C-alpha cells in the first residue's frame, strides 16, 4: 500500500498512503510498467519543455491522443480516435464532468497546464473506473503538499504572446499568461499541508473561415458528363475575431499519518470566456441545372446569383466550480485499505448569440458568378458589371438572437475496500466498492427575431463612409453599433414559443454502480478479473412541437449494464512485459440526441430542425488490448508496441435531410432536418508504437541532455448504419476518428541553455452527419465530410539565469497550416476551411 515518495530536502524518503493510481508520483516508465491495464502518462517536467497552456494541449502528445481544435487550439481530447463523448475524466480520483449542452465530452482546455503534476491516460480500464470509457479514462493528478518532502515549493511563469493574426474581438490585441502554484506544510510534525495555485490566460487573434453551407450536387451537361458542383445555395466567407480568456484558481488542504492515512479537501475554479465577432459575406451562385453556364468537378459558373453582408456576435462563458475530498486509510497497519471520494461540481454555461439579417444586393442577379472549391481556399468571381453601389445592398429577413443558460450540478460519491491488492503485493487480493453519480441539468433557450416592418435600410445607410462595395475585401463589414442602434429604434420583435421551448429541457441522470475484482500476483505475472454493474435512470422534461404549438413532454428511461473485464500482465524477462486485456465499456447517448424535444434554428428563411430520440440505448463496446513493452537503461528508455480491437453495438449517429424552403420565393433557402439513430455498429482495429530515450552520453558526453520521443497510431475503423429512408451506409471511421496519428519530440539541455521541438500530425477523419439528399439518391456519400490531415509544429528555447529563473521563448503552430474539411465522392473538394496563424510567447519562469 505504501509507496516511496520523491526524495525530501533532508535526503530521506517518505512513505505515504497513495491516492488513486498506485504510482502517481513515479516516473512515467514506472507508471506504465506497474499498471494493471494499458496506461500512458505525461508529467509536469515534460509539459514544462513545451509551450502548452492547457491539459488539452499537453495530453495531445501522449500516444493515441489528439486534440479537437477551437480557434487553432485543442479543446477536447480523443483517445485512439474515439472523441470526448466516449471518455471519462477525473481529478485526484474525483469525477470531472464539464460538457456542453449537446454532448458528454468534457472541455479540457478549462484545466491549465500549471495544475497538472501528472496525467495518466488509461486505455484498458479496470472495473473500478468510470464505465463511460470506451476510448479510455483521463486521470489528472495535481501537486500534493507532501510531494518531494515537507519543504516549501513554488513555481510559475509570466508570458507575453504575439499572434500572426493579432487582433481579437472588440479590437483586443493583448495575449498573455501568468500562473503560479506552490505548496507548504505546517502543524504538528508538519503533517498538514496546503497547495495553492492561480492561472490567468488571454489569447486574442482572428482567423478566416469558409463554409459551403449547402454542400454539393451532381450536374450533367449536354454531352452527358457528370460533375460534382456546389449546390444551388449559399457559401460563406467569414473573418472571425476571438478573444479567449481563461481564469483558474485551485487549492487543497491535506493531512496525513505516514503510511496509514492521507486525506484532502480541495476547491477548484475554472472559467473560460470565448468572445467572437464574425464579419460574414454570403455568396449565392444559382447552380440550378438550367442556369449552369460552365462546370467541372468543384467548379461552377451560374448565370445568376447575389452577394450579401452579415455579421454575428457570440459570447460564451462556462464556469466550473469543483469541491472535492478524499480519504485513504489503512486498517490496523495491515494490507487492508478504505478509500473514499466525494465531490460536487457546479457548471454554469451562458451563451449569447446574435446574427444580423443580410444586406443583399438584388439588382444584378442575372450576371454570371463562379465558385471554385478545388484548392485550399475557395475562389469566387463576380462579373465586374455587377453594381458596387452600397445603396443597392438592402436589408432583408430577420435578425436572430439566442440566449442559452445551462446549469449542471454533478454529485459523485465513491467508496472502495482493498485487501492485498496494491502494487508489489503477493498472492491473492481483491478490491470492491460502489459509486453514485447524479447529474441535475437545466437548459433554457430564449430566442428572439426582429424585423423591419416597412422600413428600408441599406448598406449605404449603415456605412455612409463607404462609396463603393468591394466584395473581395475581407476588412469590409457592417458597422455593428450603428446597426444595433437602428434596429433598437425601428425593428418589430417577433417571438415564437416553439423556437423558445424546442431546445429547452431539464433532466436528472442517476448512475448506481458497484464493482468487484480479484487480483493474483504471482512470480512474474499478475491476473485481474472482475465485473462492474451499473444502473442508469434518466428523467427528462422537454417539449414536443406540433404545427407550431409546443406541448410539455416527460419521459423516463432506465438501463442496466454488466461489464466484465480481465487483465493479465507477464514479466517475460527482466526488462520485457506483455499485457492482455478483455473489457466491456459503455457510452451513454449525447444530450442533443435524446433530451432535446424539437429545436428550430432560423437563419433568415433557412431553418435547421434538430429532433431528439428518447429511445436511444447506450453504446456497448467489447475491447481487446495487447501490448509488449521493453524497458532499458534503468527506465531511461522504452519501446512499446500495442494493438487494440473494439466492437461497438448501438452506435449512434445523426442524419440530415435538406430540402428547399417553399416559403422562399427566390429558392435560395433550405430546411435541414437532423434526427438521431442507434442502429449503427462499428469495428475498429489499431496499432500503437511508442519509444523514448533520454541521456545519449553513450554516444558522446555532450549528448547527456538529449531526450527523444515518438509515437505512432494507426486505426482501421468501419461504421455501418441504415438511414431512415432504408439506405445502408458504411463509413471508414467513427466521427472525428483519424486514420493515423504521429507525435515526435526532441529536447536538449546543455548547461543553462535548452531547446525543444514538438511535431504532431493527424490523418483524415470523418466529421459530419450522414447525408440524405433526395435529389441524388444514387450518391448518398456525395455530401459526407472529412477533416483533412493536418500537422502542427511547436518549439521552445530557454536560458537559465541565476539559480531560480529561466527566460523562455515558445512558438505554437509555427507553419500555420490551414484546417480543411473535404467533401465529394473522392473527398477532395473543399467544404470548410479555417486559416489561422502561428503564435509566439516570450516570458520568464521561476522555481523556488
Per residue in 76-103, pLDDT tens? 888 888 888 899 999 999 999 988 878 8
Query: Would you place residue 214 in the very low, low, confident or very high pLDDT band (cuts 50, 70, 90)?
Result: confident
Q: Is the pLDDT of residue 349 over 90?
A: yes
Pick the residue with more confidence: 29 or 123?
Answer: 123
CB-CB contact of 443 with 408 (8 Å):
no
Per-residue pLDDT, 7: 31
Query: Would you place residue 777 in the very low, low, confident or very high pLDDT band (cuts 50, 70, 90)?
Result: low
Query: Would you place residue 74 in the very low, low, confident or very high pLDDT band (cuts 50, 70, 90)?
Result: confident
Per-residue pLDDT, 667: 67
Q: pLDDT tens for residues 359-418?
A: 988 777 778 889 999 999 999 887 766 778 899 999 987 888 989 999 999 999 999 999
Query: Would you place residue 9 in the very low, low, confident or very high pLDDT band (cuts 50, 70, 90)?
Result: very low
Give the whole-number percent of the chain exceeding pLDDT 70.
92
Q: pLDDT tens for residues 593-617?
A: 888 876 666 666 677 777 778 888 9
Burial of 660 (0-12, 13-18, 19+ CB in 10 A): middle
Per-residue pLDDT, 11: 31
Long-range contacts, 25-32 (Cβ 8 Å, 24+):
25/118, 25/144, 25/147, 27/635, 28/118, 29/631, 29/635, 29/638, 30/635, 31/118, 31/120, 32/629, 32/638, 32/640
CA–CA separation, 584 vs 104, rounded Å?
A: 19
Secondary structure (DSSP) of 770-803: EEE-GGGTT-TTTT-EEEPPEEEEEEEEEEEETT
Q: How far is the CA of 765 from the CAs of 5, 491, 614, 740, in angstroms? A: 42, 44, 28, 9
Query: Would you place residue 61 in the very low, low, confident or very high pLDDT band (cuts 50, 70, 90)?
Result: confident
Mean pLDDT of 134-143: 92
CA–CA separation, 601 vs 545, rounded Å?
A: 13
Region of poorest pLDDT, from 13-17, 67-71, 214-218: 13-17
Given CA atoms 470, 603, 348, 767 in this order, what sign does their dihedral have? negative
Number of domains in the chain: 1
CB-CB contact of 34 with 4 (8 Å):
no
Query: Would you place residue 495 in the very low, low, confident or very high pLDDT band (cuts 50, 70, 90)?
Result: low
Query: Would you place residue 72 in the very low, low, confident or very high pLDDT band (cuts 50, 70, 90)?
Result: low
CA–CA separation, 273 vs 316, rounded Å?
A: 6
Contacts of 642 (CB under 8 A, 6+ apart): 38, 625, 626, 627, 628, 687, 688, 689
From the CA atom positions of the chain, what is the Rg in Å?
28
Mean pLDDT of 607-631: 88
The whole model's pTM is what?
0.88
Q: Is the pLDDT of residue 696 over 90?
A: yes
Query: Would you place residue 452 in the very low, low, confident or very high pLDDT band (cuts 50, 70, 90)?
Result: confident
Q: Is the pLDDT of residue 34 over 80?
A: no
Q: pLDDT tens for residues 229-278?
A: 998 777 889 999 999 999 999 999 999 998 899 999 999 999 999 999 99
CA–CA separation, 751 vs 801, rounded Å?
A: 11
What are the two backbone dihedrals, phi and then psi, of residue 414, each rounded to the nearest 5 degrees?
-150, 135
Give the whole-number percent of the chain exceeding pLDDT 90.
54
Q: Structural domain of residue 590, as residue ranges?
A: 2-847
- Which CATH number characterizes residue 133's domain? 2.40.170.20
Helix %, strand %, coil % of the chain (to 5): 10, 60, 30
Q: pLDDT tens for residues 795-818?
A: 999 999 988 999 999 998 998 888
CA–CA separation, 302 vs 331, rounded Å?
A: 80
| Sole residue written with cell 460574414 | 280
CA–CA separation, 401 vs 496, rounded Å?
A: 12
Per-residue pLDDT, 388: 85
Looking at residue 5, the DSSP 8-state letter turns out to be: P
Closest CA to 505 of 410, 588, 592: 592
Query: How high is the mean pLDDT of the chain?
Result: 87
Closest CA to 91 of 35, 150, 138, 161: 138
Per-residue pLDDT, 599: 64
Looking at residue 32, the DSSP 8-state letter turns out to be: H
Per-residue pLDDT, 499: 61
Burial of 187 (0-12, 13-18, 19+ CB in 10 A): exposed
Query: Would you place residue 710 in the very low, low, confident or very high pLDDT band (cuts 50, 70, 90)?
Result: very high
CA–CA separation, 504 vs 777, rounded Å?
A: 34
Q: How far is the CA of 514 from the CAs of 96, 127, 566, 605, 822, in angstroms? A: 19, 9, 16, 51, 45
Amino acid at each position: 500500500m505504501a509507496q516511496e515518495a520523491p526524495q525530501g530536502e533532508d535526503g530521506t524518503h517518505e512513505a505515504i498512503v497513495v491516492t488513486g493510481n498506485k504510482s502517481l508520483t513515479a516516473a512515467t516508465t514506472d507508471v506504465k510498467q506497474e499498471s494493471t491495464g494499458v496506461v500512458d502518462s505525461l508529467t509536469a517536467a515534460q509539459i514544462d519543455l513545451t509551450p502548452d497552456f492547457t491539459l488539452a494541449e499537453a495530453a495531445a502528445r501522449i500516444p493515441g491522443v489528439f486534440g479537437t481544435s477551437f480557434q487553432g487550439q485543442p479543446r477536447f481530447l480523443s483517445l485512439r480516435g474515439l472523441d470526448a463523448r466516449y471518455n471519462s475524466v477525473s481529478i485526484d480520483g474525483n469525477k470531472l464532468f464539464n460538457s456542453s449542452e449537446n454532448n458528454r465530452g468534457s472541455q479540457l482546455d478549462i484545466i491549465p497546464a500549471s495544475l497538472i503534476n501528472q496525467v495518466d491516460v488509461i486505455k484498458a480500464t479496470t472495473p473500478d473506473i468510470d464505465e463511460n470509457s470506451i476510448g479510455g479514462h483521463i486521470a489528472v493528478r495535481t501537486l500534493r503538499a507532501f510531494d518531494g518532502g515537507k519543504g516549501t515549493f513554488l513555481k510559475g511563469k509570466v508570458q507575453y504572446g504575439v499572434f500572426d493574426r493579432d487582433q481579437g474581438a472588440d479590437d483586443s490585441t493583448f495575449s498573455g499568461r501568468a500562473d503560479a502554484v506552490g505548496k507548504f506544510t505546517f502543524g504538528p510534525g508538519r503533517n498538514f499541508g496546503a497547495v495553492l495555485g492561480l492561472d490567468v490566460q488571454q489569447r486574442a487573434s482572428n482567423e478566416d473561415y469558409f463554409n459551403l453551407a449547402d454542400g454539393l450536387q451532381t450536374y450533367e451537361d449536354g454531352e452527358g458528363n457528370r460533375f460534382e458542383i456546389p449546390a444551388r445555395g449559399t457559401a460563406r466567407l467569414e473573418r472571425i475575431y476571438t478573444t479567449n480568456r481563461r481564469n483558474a484558481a485551485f487549492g487543497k488542504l491535506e493531512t496525513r499519518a505516514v503510511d496509514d492515512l492521507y486525506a484532502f479537501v480541495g476547491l477548484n475554479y475554472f472559467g473560460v470566456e470565448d468572445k467572437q465577432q464574425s464579419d460574414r459575406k454570403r455568396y449565392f451562385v444559382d447552380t440550378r441545372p438550367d442556369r449552369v453556364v460552365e462546370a467541372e468537378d468543384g467548379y461552377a459558373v451560374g448565370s445568376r446569383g447575389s452577394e450579401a453582408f452579415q455579421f454575428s456576435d457570440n459570447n460564451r462563458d462556462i464556469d466550473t466550480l469543483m469541491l472535492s475530498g478524499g480519504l485513504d486509510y489503512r486498517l490496523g497497519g495491515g494490507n487492508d485499505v478504505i478509500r473514499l471520494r466525494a465531490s460536487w461540481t457546479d457548471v454554469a454555461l451562458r451563451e449569447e448569440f446574435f446574427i444580423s439579417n443580410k444586406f443583399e444586393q438584388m439588382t444584378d442577379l442575372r450576371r454570371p458568378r463562379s465558385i471554385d472549391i478545388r484548392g485550399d481556399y475557395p475562389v469566387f468571381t463576380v462579373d465586374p458589371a455587377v453594381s458596387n453601389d452600397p445603396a443597392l445592398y438592402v436589408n432583408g429577413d430577420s435578425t436572430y438572437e439566442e440566449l442559452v443558460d445551462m446549469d449542471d450540478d454533478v454529485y459523485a460519491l465513491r467508496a472502495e475496500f482493498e485487501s492485498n491488492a496494491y502494487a508489489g503485493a503477493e498472492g491473492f487480493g481483491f478490491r470492491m466498492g460502489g459509486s453514485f453519480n447524479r447529474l441535475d441539468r437545466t437548459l433554457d433557450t430564449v430566442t428572439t427575431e426582429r424585423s423591419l416592418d416597412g422600413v428600408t435600410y441599406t448598406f449605404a445607410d449603415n456605412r455612409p463612409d463607404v462609396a463603393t462595395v468591394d466584395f473581395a475585401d475581407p476588412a469590409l463589414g457592417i458597422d455593428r453599433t450603428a446597426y444595433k442602434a437602428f434596429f433598437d429604434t425601428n425593428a418589430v420583435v417577433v417571438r415564437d414559443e416553439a423556437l423558445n421551448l424546442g431546445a429547452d429541457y431539464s433532466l436528472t441522470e442517476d448512475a448506481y454502480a458497484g464493482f468487484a475484482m480479484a487480483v493474483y500476483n504471482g512470480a512474474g505475472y499478475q491476473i485481474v478479473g472482475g465485473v462492474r454493474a451499473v444502473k442508469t435512470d434518466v428523467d427528462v422534461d422537454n417539449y414536443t412541437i406540433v404545427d407550431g404549438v409546443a406541448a410539455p413532454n416527460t419521459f423516463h428511461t432506465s438501463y442496466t449494464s454488466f461489464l466484465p473485464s480481465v487483465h493479465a500482465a507477464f514479466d517475460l524477462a527482466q526488462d520485457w512485459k506483455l499485457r492482455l486485456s478483455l473489457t466491456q465499456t459503455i457510452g451513454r447517448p449525447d444530450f442533443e440526441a435524446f433530451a432535446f424535444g424539437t429545436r428550430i434554428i432560423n437563419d433568415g428563411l433557412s431553418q435547421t430542425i434538430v429532433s431528439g430520440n428518447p429511445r436511444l440505448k447506450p453504446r456497448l463496446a467489447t475491447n481487446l488490448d495487447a501490448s509488449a513493452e521493453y524497458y532499458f537503461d534503468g527506465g531511461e528508455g522504452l519501446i512499446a508496441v500495442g494493438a487494440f480491437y473494439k466492437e461497438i453495438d448501438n452506435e449512434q449517429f445523426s442524419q440530415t435531410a435538406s430540402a428547399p424552403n417553399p416559403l422562399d420565393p427566390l429558392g435560395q433557402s433550405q430546411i435541414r432536418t437532423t434526427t438521431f439513430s442507434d442502429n449503427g455498429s462499428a469495428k475498429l482495429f489499431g496499432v500503437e508504437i511508442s519509444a523514448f530515450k533520454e541521456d545519449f552520453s553513450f554516444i558522446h558526453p555532450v549528448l547527456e541532455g538529449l531526450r527523444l520521443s515518438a509515437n505512432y497510431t494507426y486505426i482501421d475503423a468501419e461504421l455501418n448504419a441504415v438511414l431512415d429512408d432504408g439506405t445502408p451506409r458504411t463509413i471508414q471511421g467513427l466521427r472525428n476518428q483519424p486514420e493515423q496519428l504521429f507525435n515526435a519530440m526532441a529536447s536538449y539541455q546543455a548547461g543553462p541553455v535548452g531547446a525543444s521541438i514538438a511535431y504532431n500530425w493527424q490523418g483524415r477523419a470523418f466529421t459530419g452527419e450522414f447525408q440524405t439528399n433526395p435529389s441524388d439518391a444514387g450518391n448518398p456519400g456525395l455530401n459526407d465530410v472529412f477533416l483533412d490531415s493536418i500537422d502542427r509544429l511547436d518549439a521552445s528555447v530557454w536560458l537559465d539565469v541565476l539559480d531560480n529563473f529561466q527566460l523562455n521563448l515558445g512558438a505554437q503552430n509555427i507553419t500555420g497550416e490551414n484546417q480543411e474539411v473535404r467533401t465529394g465522392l473522392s473527398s477532395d473538394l473543399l467544404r470548410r476551411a479555417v486559416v489561422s496563424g502561428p503564435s509566439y510567447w516570450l516570458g520568464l519562469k521561476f522555481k523556488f
